[in-house]
C-alpha cells in the first residue's frame, strides 16, 4: 500500500511517533516513512527516567523502546538530532534545524511537551528539570548522600524523584503551591496519605506557597529558593517539576490550529493532512465532549496507533479516539495506578481497603457518573474497576457488583 497514503513524515521520535510508524507498517503501508527527532537518541521510554534510571538501578541501554535490528526492520528514514523548526502547509514541507526540508502527504506531530521552567533560572548551575535522558543523567550525577535537594512542585514526577532522592540519602524539601500534594489528581484524602508517607521518609513539605525565585552565588550556582512569603530554603540542587507545555512553538504561523496543543478533531486530524498524537494532541473526547490533552505514556502509544489506523483508513473510514487514560507511579513501596480521569472529580469514595492500611481502591465521580478509579498497592482490584470507568456507571451505586476485566491499559 503506497497510495494515497504516503509519503508520511512523523515529527517526534518518542513513544507516540514510534507507534505511528509501527502502526503504519503493520497496516501494510510500504511507502516512504520519515521519523524526525530533536534528540540524538533512538526512541526510548521516559517513565523510568524518574524511577529506575534516576535511582541508578538501570542504565541507559534498558530504556530503548526497540532493539536496533527491530527498528531497522521498519525501513524508516530516521532523522535524529535535528529538530523541526518550521512547517509550510501549502507546500507540505517540514524544515529541519540542519537546513533540510522534507515533503509529505501526511504529517504527524508527535513532539510531546517541554518542561515548564522558573523565570530567570535557566542559566543557573544546579537547577534541573526531568523530561529527557540528559535531564535524568544530570540529576542523577548531582544527587549524592547529604545533597540538599529542593523540589518545586508536587506532581507525580516530583514525588517520584523525591522518593528516589531519599533512598539515595539526600535531604529533600518539597515546595508546592497546593495545600495537599497530589490532591488535584487524587483528592485530599489520598493526597494527605501520600504526604504522610513522604514525611515519614524524612521529606520536608512546604505546602500552599509559591517559589518567588532561585537564589544563587556569584558564580551562578543555585544556593536555595526564596518563597513568596520571603522565607528561604537552602539547596545544593533544585528540581523544577511544575508541569509541561505542549511543544508547538515550531508550528506558529503555519496555519495549524493551536491552543493547548495541536487542536484536532475527534480522529486526531488537524486538517490539511496534519495529525497529532501523544502529549501534544488536544481533541474533543467523543465521550465527554471536553477538549482533552493527556500527558501519559500509554496515551502516547495508543494515540499513535489510532493516527496510523486513521491515515490508512482514509477520510471516510477514520474513527474517533476515545481512550481511557492510564497512569502509574512508584513511590517507596507504594504502587499507584489510575484509570480514567480523576482530576476535577466532585466525589471520591474509598471502596476497598483504607488509607490507614495504605492499600486501597478509590472511585471518583463527576456529574453523578464514575469518571476514574485509583488504586494503591491493589493492582488486580483496581483493574476490575476499569469497566465502571468505561461505562460511566452511576457514582452512587457503582461498586455493588464490580465487573471484572483483564484489560491492563487504556483503549
| Cα–Cα distance, 1 to 20 (Å, whole number) | 16
**For position 405, what pLDDT does the model report?**
37
Give per-residue pLDDT as tens, 110-122.
Answer: 999 999 999 989 8
Backbone angles phi, psi at 162, to 5 degrees: -60, -45
Q: What is the 3-state secondary structure (H, E, C) of 204-225?
A: EEECCCCEEEEEECCCCEEEEE
- pTM, full prediction: 0.92
Residue the block writes with cell 477538549: 291
Residue 107 · residue 122 · CB < 8 Å: no
pLDDT tens across the length of the chain (411 residues): 334 567 999 999 999 999 999 999 999 999 999 999 999 999 999 999 999 999 999 999 999 999 999 999 999 999 999 999 999 999 999 999 999 999 999 999 999 999 999 998 989 999 999 999 999 999 999 999 999 999 999 999 999 999 999 999 999 999 999 999 888 889 999 999 999 999 999 999 999 999 999 999 999 999 999 999 999 999 999 999 999 999 999 999 999 999 999 999 999 999 999 999 999 999 999 988 889 999 999 999 999 999 999 999 999 999 999 999 999 999 999 999 999 999 889 999 999 999 999 999 999 999 999 999 999 999 999 999 999 999 999 998 886 544 433 333 332
Residue the block writes with cell 488486580: 380
**For position 404, what pLDDT does the model report?**
39
**For position 5, what pLDDT does the model report?**
67
- One-character DSSP codes across 66-96: S-HHHHHTT--EEEES--EEEEETTTTEEEE
| Cα–Cα distance, 322 to 317 (Å, whole number) | 16
| Cα–Cα distance, 302 to 9 (Å, whole number) | 18
**For position 406, what pLDDT does the model report?**
33
Give per-residue pLDDT as tens, 244-272.
Answer: 999 999 999 999 999 999 999 999 999 99
**For position 4, what pLDDT does the model report?**
53
**For position 400, what pLDDT does the model report?**
57
Residue the block writes with cell 526497540: 66
b or e along 150-188 (b: 16 or more beta carbons within 10 Å of the residue's beta carbon)? Answer: bbbbbbbbbbbbbbbbbebebbbbbbbebebbbbbbbbe
Name the E strands within 289-332: 291-292, 326-331
User: Grid coordinates in use for 284?
Assistant: 474533543
Question: ∠ at Cα 207 (206, 208), nearest 5°?
Answer: 130
Residue 174 · residue 202 · CB < 8 Å: no
Which are the contacts of 359, defined by CB distance < 8 A and separation ≥ 6? 353, 376, 377, 378
What are the counts of helices (DSSP H) followed by strands (DSSP E) for the chain?
A: 10, 28
b or e along 332-358 (b: 16 or more beta carbons within 10 Å of the residue's beta carbon)? Answer: bebebbbbbbbeebebbbbbbbebeeb
Amino acid at each position: 500500500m503506497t497510495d494515497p497514503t504516503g509519503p508520511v513524515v512523523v515529527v517526534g521520535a518518542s513513544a507516540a511517533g514510534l507507534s505511528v510508524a509501527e502502526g503504519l507498517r503493520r497496516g501494510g503501508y510500504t511507502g516512504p516513512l520519515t521519523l524526525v527527532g530533536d534528540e540524538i537518541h533512538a526512541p526510548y521510554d521516559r517513565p523510568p527516567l524518574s524511577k529506575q534510571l534516576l535511582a541508578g538501578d538501570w542504565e541507559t541501554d534498558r530504556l530503548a523502546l526497540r532493539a536496533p535490528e527491530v527498528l531497522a526492520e521498519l525501513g524508516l528514514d530516521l532523522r535524529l538530532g535535528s529538530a523541526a523548526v518550521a512547517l509550510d502547509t501549502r507546500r507540505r514541507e517540514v524544515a529541519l534545524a540542519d537546513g533540510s526540508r522534507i515533503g509529505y502527504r501526511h504529517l504527524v506531530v508527535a513532539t510531546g511537551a517541554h518542561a515548564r521552567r522558573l523565570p530567570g533560572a535557566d542559566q543557573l548551575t544546579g537547577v534541573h528539570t526531568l523530561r529527557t535522558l540528559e535531564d535524568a543523567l544530570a540529576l542523577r550525577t548531582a544527587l549524592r548522600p547529604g545533597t540538599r535537594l529542593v523540589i518545586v512542585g508536587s506532581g507525580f514526577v516530583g514525588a517520584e524523584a523525591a522518593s528516589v532522592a531519599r533512598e539515595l540519602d539526600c535531604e529533600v524539601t518539597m515546595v508546592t503551591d497546593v495545600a495537599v500534594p497530589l490532591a488535584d489528581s487524587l483528592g485530599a484524602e489520598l493526597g494527605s496519605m501520600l504526604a504522610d508517607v513522604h514525611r515519614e521518609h524524612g521529606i520536608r513539605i512546604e505546602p500552599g506557597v509559591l517559589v518567588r525565585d532561585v537564589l544563587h552565588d556569584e558564580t551562578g550556582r543555585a544556593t536555595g529558593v526564596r518563597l513568596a512569603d520571603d522565607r528561604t530554603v537552602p539547596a545544593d540542587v533544585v528540581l523544577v517539576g511544575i508541569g509541561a507545555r505542549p511543544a508547538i512553538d515550531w508550528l506558529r504561523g503555519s496555519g495549524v490550529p493551536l491552543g493547548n496543543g495541536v487542536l484536532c478533531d475527534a480522529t486526531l486530524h488537524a486538517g490539511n493532512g496534519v495529525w497529532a498524537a501523544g502529549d501534544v494532541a488536544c481533541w474533543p473526547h467523543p465521550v465527554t465532549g471536553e477538549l482533552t490533552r493527556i500527558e501519559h505514556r500509554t496515551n502516547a502509544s495508543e494515540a499513535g496507533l489510532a493516527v496510523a489506523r486513521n491515515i490508512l483508513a482514509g477520510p471516510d473510514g477514520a474513527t474517533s479516539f476515545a481512550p481511557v487514560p492510564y497512569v502509574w507511579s512508584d513511590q517507596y513501596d507504594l504502587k499507584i495506578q489510575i484509570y480514567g480521569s480523576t482530576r476535577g472529580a466532585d466525589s471520591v469514595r474509598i471502596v476497598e481497603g483504607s488509607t490507614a492500611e495504605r492499600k486501597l481502591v478509590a472511585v471518583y465521580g463527576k456529574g453523578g457518573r464514575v469518571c476514574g478509579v485509583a488504586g494503591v498497592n491493589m493492582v488486580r482490584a483496581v483493574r476490575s474497576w476499569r469497566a465502571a470507568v468505561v461505562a460511566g456507571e452511576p457514582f452512587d451505586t457503582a461498586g455493588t457488583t464490580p465487573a471484572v476485566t483483564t484489560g491492563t491499559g487504556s483503549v
